Chain A
Amino acid sequence: MSKVKIGIPKALLYTYYISFWKPFFKKLGMEVVIPGNTNKQMVDIGVKNSVSEICVPIKVYIGHTLNLLEKNVDYIFVPRFESIRKNRFFCPKFMGLPDMIKHGVKKVKDKLLSCSIKTETDDISDYRNYLSLLNKLDVTEKEVKNAAVYASEKWNKFRSYNKMGYTAVEANQMVEKDVSVKDSKQFEHNSNIKIGLMGYVYNLYDDFISMDITSKLRDMGIDFITFDMMEEKELEESIAHMHKKLFWTFSNKVLGAGYKLFHSDSIDGIIHVTAFGCGPDSFLGKLFELESDKTGVPFMTIRIDEHTGNNHLQTRIEAFIDMLKRKKSNAVS
């Protein structure tokens, strides 16, 4: 008997949770199918099948879903992220994602595999979140429990690599290939410029929509830190002073990372990568701007969408980095 094929779109929180989902479904005896990296074709299909105003990460997600459909998968896994912190939520588009896919992308309807994720920490391995899958996948509660424990270990490994300073993409690869940690990263400390690279995993690490900003920075010899490289606790502490925090967990993480870096001496500037029309970021960005005014730390916003002109990004990053370098050398002399 051939294995059940589960498709997981390589979009939205994929980068953050794939080290959990992949081993989880594999352990349950399924085959996991993942579309290739986002490409122009996928984005175009996504754009055609979604509401014009919606943000590009959702369009990409829909593009991936339709791509999976062509790959003849049995199910497409579209989790509903409700909450991973008490009284905190996700952007409404995450919370209504399965509804949006079910009613908006009709072809997917029969293959939709969804469950609600509600936890109080980043760790989403509580098996009870996945019990609604039992019938469809024909597995037992005990199997799900075991798979969740097994996958949770992998995911925790991913987080620990990630926090050492590897990007989430690199950390995922390390878990997947089971390579041991090299003691020090080759790219570290060879640059005297270090920046904070703020943004959600699905913007920063999708080479197509961010136009591969991470490699661009590495090629220029720039060291950077992202929110996923930092300890969750640190992030929460740095926004503890706010009497009302943002409502969206990942926005709070980025905000926490940003606030921390604005007040740290170890970085020279901050780049915020955000998607056109991102609701949470419209406020997050403003808070960053105000903080930049207050602290004098150079700050740049890069807004991405489905357009693909590459040069402007290169130019803007180079100009920003040149400015940081000049500022630094002026300060020394």
Chain B
Amino acid sequence: MKVTFPYMGPVVGYKKLFELLGFDVVVPPRPTQKTIDLGAKHSPEFACFPFKVLMGSYIEACNMGAEMVVSSGGHGPCRAGFYGEVHERVLHSLGYDVDVVIFDEPFLDFKNFWNSIKKVKQNNSIYKTLKSVLLVYKIIQNMDKYEKIIHRISPYEVKKGSCNKAWRLIQDQYDNVYNRKDLKKANASCQEIIETIEYNQVEEKEKVKIGIIGEIYVVMESSINMEIEKMLNKLGCETERSQYLSGWIDYNMIPGKGQEEKEVLKLGEKYIDIIIGGHAKQTVGHIVDFKEKGFDGIIHLKPFACLPELVTESIIPNISDEIKMPVLTLSLDEQTGTANNSTRVEAFVDMLRRKKVSKHSA
């Protein structure tokens, strides 16, 4: 059975999981203009941007022979929970004979959840399945750890491009992990890779730190957010995202974990009372959180007409005023010309830098 999945963030993790479970894995190509065009063509006009990218990814994967799409679902009120239903209908209407398996919350419809598990578990024992899941979780956790470091030191690297190279190497390392022993080895060599990156020590007052917040897909998937982190790193800024895959897993899948996200939610309470879907409440919480961590500015990414993020966007000017935190909101859609947005980002960074300099020279 050839299986595929959404392309979001470092895909090594998902690939690994299905490999360990004995599937033939079709890794969808990294989204390109072609993917986006294909997706936009077959999606409802006003569906959100991630929906369209995924649509394109799935079609490309189906053309490569995928027979099963596995993704996560949800129960609203954000549209993302309904993606699978519409994707499946569109794929079928295009004539692809593909099974769309969606993992929903187990408590609402356990039978359905169990069916999904069975489809993915195949003939593996529950023990082996859990073991594979755990290994992949560890891989993802470690990769996230290193990615954070990379984006923190990348602006100060001595040899241009050494951080990018290191990140590629790290991904390759984890791609070859099949058991716990491999994992240990990979961890050790990745640690070494990270430690050998040369970078200049910069005084705290000269650093510009930018937090990237917003809707999870556009925050995590660099191919569709103009590689915002790289762009900022090149402009000499440290970056940190609000979302990492391991954080998402902690909060959504492991009972008792995800304490960090819960605290962020608490910070958002003042501005958005209840959870209104998507990551709206987290987004406002993260603004406060990044402020407390001493960041200089925030870039807020959202897909065009994203429901929860529109609520956030309406509230942001007020938060920004209240806690004195500059925020730049960028709306992303299938128009991929970057000149406009990169000008805005550059201007934003210039402003932050000037602000910092004048603060310290005064």
**B62-87 with Cβ < 8 A to chain A:** 73, 75-79, 81-82, 84-86
Is there a chain B Cβ closer than 8 Å to A285's Cβ? Answer: yes
CB distance from A35 to the nearest CB of B (A): 21
Is the Cβ of B314 less than 8 Å from the Cβ of A95?
no
* Contact among B79, B104, B112, B319 for A280, CB-based, below 8 A: B79
Hey, which chain B residues are within 8 Å of A277, CB to CB? 46, 305
Chain A: minimal CB distance from B354 (Å): 27
CB distance from B250 to the nearest CB of A (A): 23
Is B278 engaged at the interface, CB distance under 8 Å to the other chain?
Answer: yes
Taking a contact as CB atoms under 8 Å apart, the answer to whether B77 and A91 are in contact is yes
Of all chain A residues, the one with the shortest Cβ separation from B304 is: A53
User: Is the pair A89, B319 in contact by a Cβ cutoff of 8 Å?
Assistant: no
The interface on chain B, measured as residues whose beta carbon lies within 8 A of the other chain's beta carbons, has a size of 44
Cβ-defined contact, A106 with B77, below 8 A: no
Contact of A247 among B75, B273, B305, B306 (CB under 8 A): B75
In the complex formed, the residue of B with least CB distance to A244 is B85
Stretch at the interface among A96-104, A119-127, A181-189, A311-319: A96-104
Question: Which residue of B45, B304, B311 contacts A92 across the interface (Cβ within 8 Å)?
Answer: B311
Q: Contact partner of B276 among A88, A92, A106, A248, CB < 8 A?
A: A92
Min C-beta distance of B52 to chain A, whole Å: 10
Query: 0/1 per residue, A75-97, Cβ < 8 Å to B?
Result: 00000101000011111110110
CB of B280 closer than 8 Å to a CB of A: yes
Q: How far is the CA of A283 from the CA of B305 in the complex (A)?
A: 13
Nearest CB of chain B from residue A277's CB, rounded to whole Å = 4
B271 within 8 Å of A (CB atoms): yes
Distance of A99 Cα from B313 Cα, bound (Å): 11
- Structural contact, B308 and A283, CB atoms closer than 8 A: no
Q: How far apart are A275's CB and chain B's nearest CB, in angstroms?
A: 9
Q: Is B162 part of the contact surface with A, judged by Cβ < 8 Å?
A: no
Q: 9 tightest CB-CB pairs across the interface, nearest first?
A: A247-B76, A89-B77, A96-B311, A282-B46, A104-B314, A103-B318, A95-B276, A103-B315, A286-B44
Q: In the complex, A80→B272 CA distance in Å? A: 11
Give chain B interface residues in 231-286, CB to chain A under 8 Å.
271-274, 276-278, 280
Residues of A within 8 A of B104 (CB): 244
Partner of B317 from the list A95, A104, A278, A286 (CB cut-off 8 Å) is A104
List the B residue with the shortest CB-CB distance to A105. Answer: B314
**Chain B minimum-CB-distance residue to A54:** B310
A92 touching B78 by the CB < 8 A rule? Answer: yes
Extra contacts, 9 of them, besides A90-B77, A280-B79 (Cβ < 8 A), are A51-B314, A89-B76, A91-B77, A92-B308, A95-B277, A96-B276, A103-B319, A104-B318, A248-B77
What is the CA–CA distance of A280 and B277 in the complex, to the nearest angstrom? Answer: 13
Q: Are B44 and A99 in contact (CB under 8 A)?
A: no
Distance of A142 Cα from B248 Cα, bound (Å): 46
- CB contacts (< 8 Å) of B314 on chain A: these are 50-51, 54, 100, 103-104
Q: Are A95 and B77 in contact, with the CB atoms below 8 A?
A: yes
B344 at the interface (CB under 8 A from A): no
Q: B117 near A: Cβ within 8 Å? A: no
Task: Report Cα–Cα, A247/B82, bound state, in Å.
Answer: 8
Other-chain residue from A53, A55, A96, A290 in contact with B331 (beta carbon distance below 8 A): A53
With both beta carbons as reference points, the residue of chain A lying nearest to B312 in the complex is identified as A96
Distance between Cα atoms of A307 and B104 in the complex (Å): 40
Q: How far is the CA of A277 from the CA of B44 in the complex (A)?
A: 11
Q: Are A100 and B47 in contact (CB under 8 A)?
A: no
Specify which of B85, B307, B311 is in contact with A99 (CB 8 Å cutoff).
B311
Give every chain A residue within 8 A of B48 (Cβ-Cβ): 279, 282
Q: Contact check: which of A92, A98, A244 meets B280 at CB < 8 Å?
A: A92
Interface flag for B108 (CB, 8 Å) = yes
**Chain B residue contacts of A282, Cβ below 8 A:** 44-48, 79
Q: Does B89 contact A (CB under 8 A)?
A: yes
Instruction: Point out the residue from B47, B75, B311 that lies within 8 Å of A93, measured CB to CB.
Output: B311
Residue of A nearest to B73 (CB): A244
A290 / chain B contacts, CB cutoff of 8 Å: 89, 93
A-B contact pairs, 6 of them (CB 8 A): A103-B314, A103-B318, A104-B315, A246-B76, A283-B79, A286-B89
Residues of B within 8 A of A88 (CB): 76
Q: Which of B47, B48, B78, B314 is the most central at the interface, judged by chain A CB atoms within 10 Å of its CB?
A: B314
Q: Which residue of B lies closest to A100 (CB)?
A: B314
Q: How far is the CA of A53 from the CA of B303 in the complex (A)?
A: 11
Q: Mask for B285-308, Cβ within 8 A of A = 1, else 0? A: 000000000000000000011111
In whole angstroms, how far apart are the Cα atoms of A53 and B308 in the complex? 12
CA distance A87 to B108 in the complex (A): 9
B81 contacts which chain A residues (CB < 8 A)? 247
Asked if residues A279 and B108 are in contact (CB atoms below 8 Å), the reply is no
- Chain B, residue nearest A62 (CB): B314
One digit per residue, 1 when the CB lies within 8 angstroms of any chain A CB and 0 when it does not, for chain B 315-349 equals 10111000000000001000000000000000000
| Chain A residues whose C-beta falls within 8 Å of the C-beta of B79 in the assembled complex | 279-280, 282-283
* Bound form: Cα–Cα A106–B350 in Å: 30
Q: When chains A and B are docked, how far (Å) is the Cα of A104 from the Cα of B316?
A: 8
Check B310–A93 contact: CB distance below 8 A: yes
Return B16 CB to nearest CB of chain A, in Å. 29
A96 in contact with B45 given A53-B305, A80-B273, A248-B77 (CB within 8 Å): no
